[in-house]
Structures are given as structure tokens and as C-alpha cells.
Amino acid sequence: MIARDIRNITRFLPGILLVLVLLVLPFVYHDQYVYQIAILTGMYMILTMAMNLMLGQTGLVMLGQAGFYGLGAYVAALLALNLHWPFVATFLAGGVAAGLAALIVGFPSLKLKGIYFALVTMSLAEILRSIETIWISLTRGPMGLPGIPRPNLLGIEFSSRNEPYFFLVVLFVVAAFLFFRWLERSNLGLSLRAVRDDEVGASSAGIHVFRGRMVAFVIGCFITGLVGAFYAHLYTYVGPSSFTWDQSLLVLTMSMLGSFGGLPGCLIASIVLTMAPEILRPLALYRQVFFGAMLILLVVFSPALSTCRIGRKRRDIAQHRTEA
Amino acid sequence: MLAQQLANGIILGSLYALIAVGFALLFSILDVINFAHGSLFMFGAYVAMILLGSVHVPFMFALLGAMIGAGLLGVVVEKIAVAPLRRRKVPGWNALISTFAAAVIIENLAQRIFGTDYRSFPSPIQLRVYSILGATVTNLQIFALCACLVLMGLLVIFVRYTWLGRAFRAVEQDSQAASVMGVNVGSIVALAFFLSAALAGAAGVFVAMYYNIVSVQMGLLAGIKGFVASVLGGMGSIAGAALGGFIIGMLEVLVSAYISANVKDIVVFLALILVLFVKPSGLLGRRAL
């Protein structure tokens, strides 16, 4: 028993130490540019983990994440600007709005198969973006909403400096990671993977396929909405051009490349793909070209993509049967 | 008024149909959605603009050049972004990412080469205005409509009535069996990409001609609209894609005329969602995937 505890602690020690270092860092290191990239990376990490729940765990090909991301951001921005809600409230409201939207949309669309579900979510994101663009009396249209107040947490007034945001993002990533890790290892996660791998087999083993998909979809969109709300308070501006469809595709890419390495794989993929354009900055005007080339190489040579799902199928279902 | 809108709808619809048919061609054979389609469309428009404006060739040659140029670029996209995945038997929709990356590359290179500003497209023929049944149309519009119909007709004839077309259909039905029967699946796929991209290039030329403007960004929206049209009509069905194109063109024009130009995208995507709910395989789709 004690031996296992010690083994567990030594296993998690590097992670715990890393988080502690990251939490102390804002007090001693002050390069704003580095923090800006780090915050962005953290946000993509959470978006990618949310996508991983939907795509990697449940097999929902979701092409409209940017729609829910934007919905969370707009709801938070409007509540903060018009009703002067505090940060914690708008943050949660952003997530709840996206989760509710997912619940409503999920009922008709989750019955559709793979690519059709993808297309419905893509259309939905485009519709949301059109609404953001044309409902000028509420959203100011293409001009967007500037001047969103910065958070005020526990008496700490956030300024344009990035350190407090970084601190917050680290906590957010850790919380999201632990949550998704717990979810993956729970009975629910197991049944989601069973649904992904073999729908008929899973339902014959007593798994409610539709309910499983719905739970994954709503949780994924809820977390996405939370990140959107954070976005609004970080940049103090939201506009429809921030939530375009290549945004969805970027996160989808991160999660596809990462999901086969589990949650840590997602984290690594989001670090690589967020930082790549920054590291390629010396190439100046051609960096997007190199980014694209790198993406193709990753997809073409990534061993994970070709071996995905092989060998997991039977085990997960069998395991679920024995546990149920 | 209504006659005018219907005329506009048919002309715009024929352009969307031409883009959508390219998507359908690839999806029928490969189950691949080519997200670089819009970039190929844009590339065709630029090739024609350069041939017309700088080399001063006759319009027909410029159109042909644009189709061949875009077609070759399409084959390059296939070789780089799709063929390696196909060889490893990765599910088709993984090509979403690699073709998206190819689009990023093409669009950024185009930006470096052609510049980011909007350029005007040289007018190929003397503009004439006709009045048909109360609708005012230009000879350019009539030409674009006829050319779209001819190109789609040629494609259908090719697929239905030539021996290469038969190989096409064989690969579409069962690529493994086709390969066993001596069909070179790799070449057929490359040819499909060439044809699909050539159609996109031609559509790019017509759209540039129609709006008299060329820009690097023009492919993005056209690509999405063409894609929506092909899904609406039934993924992988050429006739369905053409129908979807006309429906979307008509819907856009009518909504812009009688409701508001602002909501036309919303209506188009709502129509798509509705069709997907009622009949996921699209209006003329053959199989439920």
C-alpha cells in the first residue's frame, strides 16, 4: 500500500513540480511576449482537450467548435458590458451558454452519422458567426465589442500585464486536465470509447449510445465556452473575425494529432502547433507556408493516425462488460 | 423584377454548381473532401488574369490555360497531401487536415507572388446587354452560364460514355476490385483531381469575369459555398452537386432581393441543416454513409 503511494507520488512528481514552477514563474520572470504566447498555448490546450473528449474519446467529428467558442466569448462580453456582471459570473455564463446551445443542437444532430454531424456543426458555427456579424444593435457587427472589463479576482485588479492571466491559465489547464483525466478513466469514459469503437456492440452491452454522445458533446462545448469567456476578458475585445472556421480546423488538427497519445499527446500537439508560427517567425513572410508544410508532414508521417483504434476495440468493450 | 432575380439566380447557381461538381467528383471516388478546392479556384482566376492582361492571348486560350494550370496544381495537391494517406489506408476524412494545410500553403504563396490587394480582371469581350423576358442580362453572363453547362455536360459524358469514365465508375464502386481488374487506381485518382481542379479553375475565371475582380481571398467563400452545394445535393453525386449549386445560387439571390443580403448565408446554412436532418445523404444522394 505504502509502496504504491510512493510510486504514485514519484510518478506525478515531475508534473506537480512543473506546475509549481509555472505558478511561481510570474513573480520572477516578466517577458510579456513569452507570457502572451504561453497564455495562447494554454487556451489551445484546453480547447484541444475538450475536442479530444468529443473526437478522440467519443468519435464525434466536430467541425464547428469556433461557433461555441465565439458564443461563450460573446455571451461573456455582453454580460460584462451591459449588465456589469463580475468575471466569475460571466466566465461560467459563457460556458453554460455554449453547453445549452450544444444540448439544443445535439438532440436532432447527434443522431446523424460521422461526416453529417460534422457538416451540421460547421453550418451552425457559420450561422452563429453570421448572426454575430449582422445583429448590429447588439453585437456592433463586424466592428466587434471593445472595452470588455478585465477580471477582478480576490481583490487583484488585472491590468494589461500578462502575468496574472498566465497564472490563471495554468490553474485552468491543470483543472481541465485533471477533470478530463478523471472523466476518461471513469465508467462514462469507458462507455464513450466503446460507443466510438463499435456502436452496435456498445448498445448491446447496455450502453445508451445517444446519451453518451450527448454528455460528451455538452461537456466539450461547455469547456469550449469557458475558454471563449476567458478570451473575451483577456483580449478585452471580441469580433466575428476571431471565430472563423479555420479556427475550428486548427483545434481539430491539434486534437487529431494529439489524441492518439491521450491527454498528454493533446497538450504536446497544442504546444507544437501554437508555437510553430512563432518559432518560424524568422522566416517572416513565408512562415505560414512552412507551417502548412509542417502540418502535411505531421499528418502524412504521424504513426498514430494509421494505427488509431486498432486493438483497443475489443478490450474496452470486454472491460466494460465485466464492470457493468 | 422576379424574372431578373431568377436570371441572376440561374447564373450564380451555375457557378456554384461548377465548383460543387468538383467536390462531388472527388468524394465519389475517394471519400475525400478537398479543402484546397477554393485555392485552386483562386489560382485559376489568377492564371487567366495574367494570360489575358500580360500575355494578351485570346480568351479561350486563357480559359484553357487556367483550367490546365489549376488542374496541374490539383494533381500536385493530390500527390503531396492525399496520396500518402491513401497508401496507408487512413480514413478519408484525415485528408481534411492535409488538404487544409495545402490550401494554407497555396494561399500564402499566392499572396507573396500576386500581392494582397484586389486586382481588376481584364474584360475579355465587348460588353453587350440583352433583354430576355423582362430580365436584363449581359453577354458575359450568358457566356458564363453556357460554358458552365457545357463543362458539366462534358464531364458527365466523360464519366458515362468513355472507357476512362468506366474505370472511374469502377474505382468509385470498389477500388480494390477495380485494381484487381487492371485499373491503375493511382492514375484514376490523379485524373479525378486534375478534372476537379480544372473545373474549379474555370469557375474561378467565370467568377472573376462576373464580378470583374480578383483577390487571393476569393477562394475561401466560394469553396465553402461549393462544398455546401455538393452536400445539399448529395455527396458524391455529380447531378446532385449541380442541382445543389443551382438551389443555393437561387436561394441567395432571392433572399438578397426580397429579405436582406445580410441573412443570405444564414438561410443557405439553415437549408443545409434542414436537408441533413431530413435526408442526410442529400437530395440526390444514393447511399447513406
SS3 state of residue B137: strand
C-alpha grid cell, residue A321? 462488460
> Which of B245, B113, B261, B273 minimizes the C-alpha distance to A286?
B113
Tell me the chain A residues in contact with residue B270 when contact means C-beta distances shorter than 8 Å: 123, 127
Quote the minimal CA–CA distance from A159 to chain B in Å.
35
B119-146 pLDDT, tens per residue?
A: 888 777 777 888 877 778 888 888 888 8
* Long-range contacts of B119-123, Cβ-Cβ distance < 8 Å, separation of 24 or more: B119/B49, B119/B213, B119/B214, B119/B215, B120/B212, B120/B213, B120/B214, B121/B45, B121/B48, B121/B49, B121/B52, B121/B208, B121/B209, B121/B211, B121/B212, B121/B213, B121/B214, B122/B49, B122/B52, B122/B53, B123/B209, B123/B212
- Distance, CA of A256 to CA of A253 (rounded, Å): 5
Q: Which of A113, A127, A292 has its CB closest to that of B289?
A: A113
Q: Are A158 and A152 in contact (CB under 8 A)?
A: yes
How many contacts does A have with B, using Cβ atoms within 8 A?
111
B100/A285 Cβ within 8 A: no
- Phi/psi for B116 (5° steps) reads -90, -15
Does pLDDT of A323 surpass 60? Answer: no
Report the pLDDT value the prediction gives residue A72, as an integer from 0 to 100.
Answer: 92
- Distance, CA of A168 to CA of A164 (rounded, Å): 6
Report the pLDDT value the prediction gives residue A302, as an integer from 0 to 100.
Answer: 64
Searching chain B, which residue's CA lies closest to the CA of residue A255?
Answer: B97
**Could you tell me the pLDDT band of residue A102, with boundaries at 50, 70 and 90?**
very high
> Radius of gyration (Cα) for chain A, nearest Å?
20
Searching chain B, which residue's CA lies closest to the CA of residue A142?
Answer: B262
Q: Which of B35, B108, B273 has its CB closest to that of A289?
A: B108
* Higher pLDDT, residue B109 or B287: B109
Q: Which of A118, A127, A300 has its CB closest to that of B98?
A: A300
Tell me the chain B residues in contact with residue A118 when contact means C-beta distances shorter than 8 Å: 93
> Radius of gyration (Cα) for chain B, nearest Å?
19
Searching chain A, which residue's CA lies closest to the CA of residue B227?
Answer: A119
B164 in A contact zone (CB under 8 Å): no
Could you tell me if the ipTM is greater than 0.85?
no
* Long-range contacts of B175-181, Cβ-Cβ distance < 8 Å, separation of 24 or more: B175/B29
Report the pLDDT value the prediction gives residue B185, as an integer from 0 to 100.
Answer: 83
Report the pLDDT value the prediction gives residue A225, as an integer from 0 to 100.
Answer: 94
Report the pLDDT value the prediction gives residue B91, as an integer from 0 to 100.
Answer: 66
Report the pLDDT value the prediction gives residue B65, as an integer from 0 to 100.
Answer: 92
**Could you tell me the pLDDT band of residue B42, with boundaries at 50, 70 and 90?**
very high
Does pLDDT of A306 surpass 50? Answer: no
How far is the CA of B271 from the CAs of A75, A134, B238, B276, in angstroms? 26, 19, 19, 9
Quote the minimal CA–CA distance from A127 to chain B in Å.
5
Q: Are A102 and A68 in contact (CB under 8 A)?
A: yes
Which of A68-72, A195-199, B211-215 has the highest average model confidence (pLDDT)?
A68-72
Tell me the chain A residues in contact with residue B84 when contact means C-beta distances shorter than 8 Å: 300
Report the pLDDT value the prediction gives residue A53, as an integer from 0 to 100.
Answer: 87
B46-93 pLDDT, tens per residue?
A: 999 889 888 888 888 889 999 999 999 999 999 888 888 877 766 666
A50 in B contact zone (CB under 8 Å): no
A4-26 pLDDT, tens per residue?
A: 777 777 777 777 788 887 877 77
Q: Are B116 and B216 in contact (CB under 8 A)?
A: yes
Searching chain A, which residue's CA lies closest to the CA of residue B282?
Answer: A116
Does pLDDT of A1 surpass 70? Answer: no
Quote the minimal CA–CA distance from A193 to chain B in Å.
18
SS3 state of residue B129: strand
B289/A114 Cβ within 8 A: yes
Q: What is the mean pLDDT of residues B202-217?
A: 86
Give the contacts of A34 (CB within 8 A, at least 6 positions apart): none
B113 in A contact zone (CB under 8 Å): no
Q: Among A4-13, A139-148, B181-190, which stretch is predicted with the lowest mean pLDDT?
A: A4-13
Dihedral-angle region of residue A161 (phi above 0 means left; psi in -120 to 50 means alpha; beta otherwise): beta
Does pLDDT of A312 surpass 50? Answer: no
Cβ atoms < 10 Å from Cβ of B287: 9
Searching chain A, which residue's CA lies closest to the CA of residue B88?
Answer: A306
Give me the residues of A, 59-88, that contact B with CB < 8 A: 61
Quote the minimal CA–CA distance from B63 to chain A in Å.
28
B55 in A contact zone (CB under 8 Å): no
- Distance, CA of B226 to CA of B12 (rounded, Å): 11
B116 in A contact zone (CB under 8 Å): no
Report the pLDDT value the prediction gives residue B76, as an integer from 0 to 100.
Answer: 93
B266-285 pLDDT, tens per residue?
A: 888 888 888 888 877 777 77
Residue with cell 479561350: B60
* Higher pLDDT, residue A282 or A308: A282
Percent share of chain B, pLDDT over 70: 97
B105/A299 Cβ within 8 A: no
Cβ atoms < 10 Å from Cβ of A18: 12
Question: What does DSSP assign to residue B124?
Answer: -
C-alpha grid cell, residue B155? 464531364
C-alpha grid cell, residue A222? 461547455
A310 in B contact zone (CB under 8 Å): no
How far is the CA of B12 from the CAs of B48, B148, B246, B247, B273, in angstroms? 20, 10, 8, 10, 21
Q: Across chain A, what does the average pLDDT equal?
A: 80
How far is the CA of A39 from the CAs of A36, A154, A169, B282, in angstroms? 5, 20, 6, 42
**Could you tell me the pLDDT band of residue A307, with boundaries at 50, 70 and 90?**
very low
A226-277 pLDDT, tens per residue?
A: 999 999 888 888 888 878 777 887 888 788 777 666 788 888 888 888 887 7
- Distance, CA of B73 to CA of B96 (rounded, Å): 17
C-alpha grid cell, residue B181? 481488374
Give the contacts of A144 (CB within 8 A, at least 6 positions apart): A237, A238, A239, A240, A241, A242
B115 in A contact zone (CB under 8 Å): no
